[in-house]
Structure formats: C-alpha cells, structure tokens
Amino acid sequence: MRRRSPSFARTLRSHWRLALRCTLVSVVVLLALIGNVVFYASVGGWLRFASILWLYGTLFWLSLHIYLASRLVVHVAEPSLLNLYKRAAFIALSHAGLL
C-alpha cells in the first residue's frame, strides 16, 4: 500500500470544508452537463448538434479536475472556491490540445 505524503494529509485536514464544497460543485455541474448532453441528443433536427458542444463542455469540465486537486493541496496558501476553479481552468485550457 502506498503512503500519502504528510503534506497531503495536513492540507486535507485544514481544507476539508473547501474540498467538500468543490466536490458538491463538481457533482452538480457534471450532472447538469450530462443532462444537457442527453437532452440535446434526444431532440430531433439540427438541435441534436448542440449535444456535441455540451459533450465538449463536459470533457473540459472533467479535464479541469485533473488540475483542481493539485491546486488545493500544494500551490495555493489560502485557496478559495472560485480561485481554485479559475486556476484549474486556465491550466486545462493551456493543455487543450491534449484532449
């Protein structure tokens, strides 16, 4: 079994409320994005193509979370919810060609 770094455990203890809020925001937004993909995919006509845009939005939202955890643990001294998502979005956009 792999041991976690002491900084991870210490940061999790000090920022657990923020981590819980990030989890709630992530789940709510992901469910809304998936709901939009399903809705627009089931609509007939040219609106069906809107589901592709929502699918790209969902992929971006999921890729953002790769960088969100590292922002929470290591790099930001006093993180806020909006600041964490903003920084993670900028990093995900800078790596957009890797999607």
Q: Does residue 83 surpass a pLDDT of 70?
A: yes
Quick: pLDDT tens for 27-74. Answer: 999 999 999 999 999 998 888 899 999 999 999 999 888 888 776 666
Instruction: State the Cα–Cα distance between residues 99 and 56, nearest whole angstrom.
Output: 10
Instruction: State the Cα–Cα distance between residues 62 and 27, nearest whole angstrom.
Output: 10
> Judging by beta carbons within 10 Å of its beta carbon (0-12, 13-18, 19+), is residue 55 exposed, middle or buried?
middle
Nearest CA to 21 out of 66, 67, 82 is that of: 82
The whole-number pLDDT of residue 37 equals 95
State the residue for tokens 């969902």.
Answer: 58
pLDDT, greater one: 93 or 97 = 93
Instruction: State the Cα–Cα distance between residues 77 and 38, nearest whole angstrom.
Output: 39
For the entire predicted model, the pTM comes to 0.79
Instruction: State the Cα–Cα distance between residues 7 and 5, nearest whole angstrom.
Output: 5
pLDDT, greater one: 97 or 20 = 20
Instruction: State the Cα–Cα distance between residues 72 and 88, nearest whole angstrom.
Output: 10
pLDDT, greater one: 70 or 87 = 87
Number of helical H runs and strand E runs in the chain: 4, 0
The whole-number pLDDT of residue 56 equals 93
